[in-house]
Amino acid sequence: MTVIEVEDLFKSYGSVDAVRGVSFRVEEGEVFALLGPNGAGKTTTLEILEGHRRRSGGQVRVLGSDPQHGGRALRERVGIVLQSAGIDGELSVHEVLSLYAGCYPAALPVDELIAMVGLADKRGARAKTLSGGQRRRLDLALALVGDPDLIFLDEPTTGFDPAARHGAWELIRSLRGLGRTIVLTSHYMDEVQQLADRAIVLAAGRIVAEGPPEALGNAGAQETSICFGLPAGLWIDALPQDLRVIARPRRGALELRTVQPTPVLLGLCAWAVQGGIELSHLTVSGPSLEEVYLQLTSEDDNGRG
Ligand SMILES: Nc1ncnc2c1ncn2[C@@H]1O[C@H](COP(=O)(O)OP(=O)(O)O)[C@@H](O)[C@H]1O
Ligand SMILES: [Mg+2]
């Protein structure tokens, strides 16, 4: 079942075009990620899906309704973690959650929820005394309190320490295991690789890549990086001509970037063996999602499309 359908979505704030013709679908039970740098249009898109913001153009269906007119029935099936939620800092964790639980017909038991997000030892602590990561976990609990079918998470782990981050990932995976549909935004590559079934990469309001996270690595030019060190006294000009032209210094060593790694590696190794030269710290690596992402977004900055 398709849970979300977005067709040619546009949103402008006055003269700022924040979202410029974005289309995608999210199926039931998927973890779907909107990936991109600050200002890419992730929060704007999410807020439109949540019904918190009016679009300027395009079609949007969320659980079969237009979120702009979704009303309470839709809202009860949707859980939301805002990028920054406003809650009363004087209330305790348990009080805040109980307050929100009262708004839903089928709310989860509050203490169960507190344990789920790892805040059991903060049950009685006032919200304003929580650390950034603990506060984010409270936000997550608020999103889950109504036992929603569809969960929106805007940068769910920003500000988390590594342990809290892994805890949140576990929680998101367990929600997926329960068949919930999750749409999250992130600017962390590894987070999207860890969690998402599919992702779109947004840059300046447009989709610049989409697919399963591992396939996003195929979206850009497939350059392999070959790195190595040379003995003292040898540098780029010692290399054979065809390697010299593609060699670049990198962190005290040399890097060859190529879309044809096999002949380049053969040429390098043949040259080294013939000369009795040991290549130190030789590594061969494909493009990381991070590199692909930087490449895609910088292409867009250069006015592509
Ligand atoms: N309420 C607003 N009023 C005017 N411009 C906004 C508003 N919210 C966001 N923008 C602009 O829209 C663009 C997209 O922002 P946003 O959706 O928050 O991106 P992201 O979440 O990817 O960082 C940015 O250029 C931002 O400055
Ligand atoms: Mg944002």
Q: Per-residue pLDDT tens for 21-70?
A: 999 999 999 999 999 888 899 999 999 999 989 999 999 999 999 999 87
**Predicted local confidence at residue 304, as pLDDT:** 40
Distance 295 CA to ligand 2 centre (A): 21
Distance 223 CA to ligand 2 centre (A): 30
The backbone torsions φ and ψ at residue 82, rounded to the nearest 5 degrees and listed phi first, read -75, 160
Q: Looking at the predicted structure, is the pLDDT value of residue 200 above 90?
A: yes
Q: What is the pTM of this model?
A: 0.74
What is the position in ligand 1's atom list of the atom closest to the CA of 202?
Answer: 22
Q: Which tokens belong to 47?
A: 């807020």
Q: Looking at the predicted structure, is the pLDDT value of residue 207 above 90?
A: yes
Bridging pattern class, strands 57-62 and 2-13: antiparallel
Q: Which has the closest alpha carbon to 288: 199, 200, 218?
A: 218
Distance 161 CA to ligand 2 centre (A): 19
Q: How far apart are CA 257 and CA 284, in angstroms?
A: 10
Minimum mean pLDDT among 164-168, 179-183, 189-193, 301-305: which range?
Answer: 301-305
Q: How far apart are CA 84 and CA 17, in angstroms?
A: 22
The backbone torsions φ and ψ at residue 236, rounded to the nearest 5 degrees and listed phi first, read -50, -40
Q: Which tokens belong to 9?
A: 């979505």
Query: Domain map of the chain by residue range?
Result: 2-216, 224-286
Q: How far apart are CA 285 and CA 257, in angstroms?
A: 10
Q: Where are the alpha helices (DSSP H) in the chain?
A: 42-50, 71-77, 93-101, 110-116, 132-144, 162-177, 189-195, 213-216, 241-244, 261-274, 289-301
Ligand with smallest separation from the Cα of 37: 1
**Predicted local confidence at residue 218, as pLDDT:** 56
Residues 229, 280: contact at Cβ < 8 Å?
Answer: yes
Distance 298 CA to ligand 2 centre (A): 19
Distance 63 CA to ligand 1 centre (A): 25
| Cβ of 18 less than 6 Å from ligand 1 | yes
What is the position in ligand 1's atom list of the atom closest to the CA of 19?
Answer: 14
User: Looking at residues 106-134, what average pLDDT do you find?
Assistant: 91
| Cβ of 38 less than 6 Å from ligand 1 | yes
Sheet architecture: strand order including 57-62: 16-27, 2-13, 57-62
Query: Between 132-144 and 162-177, two packed helices, what is the crossing angle to 10 degrees?
Result: 10
| Cβ of 266 less than 6 Å from ligand 1 | no
Q: How far apart are CA 266 and CA 305, in angstroms?
A: 38
CB atoms near residue 205 (< 10 Å)? 24
Residues 1, 181: contact at Cβ < 8 Å?
Answer: no
Q: Looking at the predicted structure, is the pLDDT value of residue 144 above 70?
A: yes
Q: Looking at the predicted structure, is the pLDDT value of residue 274 above 90?
A: yes
User: Looking at residues 178-188, what average pLDDT do you find?
Assistant: 91
Q: Looking at the predicted structure, is the pLDDT value of residue 300 above 60?
A: no
Q: Looking at the predicted structure, is the pLDDT value of residue 216 above 80?
A: no
**Predicted local confidence at residue 8, as pLDDT:** 98
Distance 107 CA to ligand 2 centre (A): 28
Q: Which has the closest alpha carbon to 89: 125, 119, 118, 122?
A: 125
**Taking ligand 2, which is a single-atom ion, which protein residues have CB atoms under 5 Å away?**
42-43
What is the position in ligand 1's atom list of the atom closest to the CA of 44?
Answer: 17
Q: How far apart are CA 292 and CA 36, in angstroms?
A: 12
Tell whether the torsion through CA atoms of 148, 155, 209 and 66 is positive or negative.
positive
Average pLDDT score, the chain: 88
Identify the residue with better confidence: 200 or 175.
Answer: 200
CATH, range 2-216: 3.40.50.300
Identify the residue with better confidence: 84 or 9.
Answer: 9
**Predicted local confidence at residue 305, as pLDDT:** 38
pLDDT over 90 percentage in the chain: 56
257-269 pLDDT tens trace: 888 889 999 999 9
**Predicted local confidence at residue 175, as pLDDT:** 85
